[in-house]
Homo-oligomer: A and B are copies of this chain.
Amino acid sequence: MLNTTFLKACHGEKTNYTPVWIMRQAGRYLPEYRKIREQVDFLTLCKTPELAARVTLLPVDILKVDAAILFSDILIPIEAMGMKLEFSEKKGPHLYHPLRNETSVSRLRTLNPDADIPFVADTVKLLVKQLTVPLIGFSGAPFTLATYMIEGGSSKNFVNTKTMMYRQPALFHELMKKLTTMNISYLKAQINAGVHAVQLFDSWAGALSPQDYRDFELPYVKQIISELGSLVPVIYFPNNCAGLLKMASASGADVISVDWRISIAEAAGIIGEGVSIQGNLDPVALFGTKENIRKEAAEILAGAVSARTHIFNLGHGILPETPVENAIALVDMVHELSSKKS
């Protein structure tokens, strides 16, 4: 039977304890994951349903988290739109022939998820048969995806992306429309296959000034959420969001996931009572002592009491060097500290 604590919290229903999962919980910090990765490269792992499903399940067994998240990457659909993608251990993702002009944007293909990347739905279908907790699907928000497509990979200052925004706004908006269409069909395909909730990762939203966020990203995020919100709960994660939080909380999402650079009490105050909150322990806190982790987890749980409901998570993805025992301890502490004594 499915443990629905996480889904209840997404919907704003009170639960007996605070559900917890961890961004990148099926990742390199787990020895079991690294063992599988010795056999296959990252993209093959994403594209092989049996393996992707196995990796997705690892943290459910090891950490006892209250939700699983599909093992994949936000750039998988971008590759299917026609951009050549490679991952290197050191430099991260590399997209060949980054978008810089109208021709390259117009050449992007419309994603047909079931035909182009059937392994995603296949992985979901395998998982929902086995899981004891809800499965979260995900996609990258348009601006975040656009940065990779325009820069060709990770970036420090997003000079090419913003230069397109400022100098070729019509072209930038055309790209954002394509990414919005992609997001909707991609997330609907995941929902049709069985995911119980979706998270929209806006990892680089915080690189935008509030004015630019309002003009170039928020309208697309709203459109995506409005298409999906009646189907499953939507979690929106605008990373480094303190200055954007008021706008982001009006995105229509059921849950706003906040990073660690703002106190969760202050964030809950900004978000208001209509939306749930997810977060927000500093990922590096897991390198501290267990006493310190407990103190910080308790402070976050206390700070979140004014939120509609709270889903505990890190403020960003768990780091590869994190001691596994501390991740296990964190999940246990959150469950214990938040359990209603009755």
Contacts and interface: CB of A to CB of B under 8 A. Distances in A.
Interface stretch (A29-37, A226-234, A283-291, A327-335): A283-291
Contact of A159 (B157, B163, B321): B321
Interface in A227-280: 240, 242-244, 260-263, 266
Q: How many copies does the complex hold?
A: 2
Interface string A293-327: 00010010000000000000001000101000000
Interface stretch (A78-86, A102-110, A128-136, A203-211): A203-211
A29 B28 CA distance: 39
B243 A266 contact: yes
A167 interface: yes
A87 interface: no
Contacts of A66: none
Contact of A261 (B209, B260, B285): B209
Interface in A148-194: 157-159, 162-163, 165-167
Interface of A: 157-159, 162-163, 165-167, 206-212, 240, 242-244, 260-263, 266, 282-285, 287-289, 292, 296, 299, 315, 319, 321
30 contacts: A157-B319, A159-B284, A159-B319, A159-B321, A162-B284, A162-B285, A162-B288, A163-B288, A166-B284, A166-B285, A166-B288, A166-B292, A167-B287, A167-B288, A167-B289, A167-B292, A206-B261, A208-B261, A209-B263, A209-B285, A209-B296, A210-B263, A210-B266, A211-B263, A242-B242, A242-B243, A243-B261, A243-B262, A243-B263, A243-B266
